[in-house]
Amino acid sequence: MYRIKTAVALIIGYAMVAGQAEAAGWTDTVTIKGFASVNYERSNAAEPFNGEENVGIDDQGSLSGTRMGLNINARINERLRFASQLFASKDAEFAVNVDWAFGVLTLTDQLDLRTGKIKFPVGLVNEYVDVGYVTPWIQAPAVIYSELGAPNGPQMTRESFTGISLLGQQAIAGDWLLEADLFGGEIDLDGISVRELSGITLRADWDDTVQFQLSSYEGTMRGTGTVMGGAMEGVKHEGVLYGAKADWNDVIFYAERGDITMGDITAMKATSWYTTVGYRIGKLLPHLTYQNYEQGEVDDEQTITTLGLRWDFMPGVALKVELGQIKTDKGNGLFPQGSSPADTVNTTGFGLDMVF
């Protein structure tokens, strides 16, 4: 209860600061925006999916993914600005965390230098994955965006990294915007870390309608202790993710694939992909998503099919309903290690997303 009160008090406090900033005429330099999501998902299985007990989705129902956040952006001068996000979620008992906080130095009109705790720029939607209002799903596809700890899950994306990023962009003919993001530093995973991180993300965006993205990164595992008998310590962790998304003439489309290796450890080799298609009908957006997950050279193999409906019933607020089916062909997939999930598990989900 204390953490919930702390989160609410902090959000109210920032709202008061925003009001004072406006009264002082600072609105041209300080921007504060917020988002919140309330999610409820349930399955017909006792084993929790995509999370430990009391977090993952099971037959007791789960509010996992219920969250709120504040984005604060401050322009110090023409060349320097600061960005951060405060975040609280049901998964962490609503303790307030700083998801990312970094400074941006504009070197030229086309080149920015970022340093601090930076959003991990890997995955089509990872840089805004917490803001449920801007995506069609209740939660982003788990086969790519799951945050399960090692050695479970795909291990493809993370919340943020601490380090430096050189972000360049160039507009070209035909309304195309090309971006390249060189980044490096380390990722903290609650004791375990990925050191000597380096990577690059390339994007091509056409008129905010079609986007292509490719990311490649690598780092060295440190502090793994006895995880997998100590086999992960000092091992190179490498990932390649690529995908495309489009929102054109009321048709939405997402497709993404990721491949992960961790040295020669067969059990940590993972391949994941998903595809989403949908068609907007006024304020309604029905959509269908298919996900595929394989790990350990098919020691784990799982597919997820989800039929969803999004309803934008008022400005800045969306209601979502989803029906899903999880099929585990081999192993445990994104269920806990050592569990025995049914071959087919059905899920139901409801979500309410808002921005303010």
What domains sit in the chain, N to C, each tagged with a CATH number?
2-19+29-355 (2.40.160.10)
pTM strictly above 0.75: yes
**Tokens at 156, concatenated:** 């493809």
The two three-digit tokens of residue 233, written as one number:
């310590």
Looking at the DSSP bridge assignments, the partners of residue 105 are: 80, 113
Q: Kindly report each contact of residues 256-259 with a partner whose C-beta sits within 8 Å and lies 24 or more positions away, as own/partner.
A: 256/123, 256/124, 256/141, 256/144, 258/123, 258/144, 258/154, 258/156
Q: Would you call 109 exposed, middle or buried from its count of C-beta atoms within 10 A (0-12, 13-18, 19+)?
A: exposed
Q: What is the pLDDT along the chain (356 residues), one digit of tens a residue?
A: 434 444 444 444 444 444 444 444 566 789 999 999 999 999 999 999 998 887 899 999 999 899 999 999 999 999 999 999 999 999 888 999 999 999 999 999 999 999 999 999 999 999 999 999 999 999 999 999 998 877 788 999 999 999 999 999 999 987 999 999 999 999 998 778 999 999 999 999 999 999 999 999 999 999 988 887 788 899 999 999 999 999 999 999 999 999 999 998 888 899 999 999 999 999 999 999 999 999 987 788 999 999 999 999 999 999 999 999 999 999 999 998 888 899 999 999 999 999 99
Using alpha carbons, select from 302, 271, 274 the residue that is nearest to residue 289: 274
Contact in structure between 279 and 241 (CB atoms under 8 Å): no
* Torsion angle (degrees, nearest 10) of CA 52, 255, 67, 239: 60
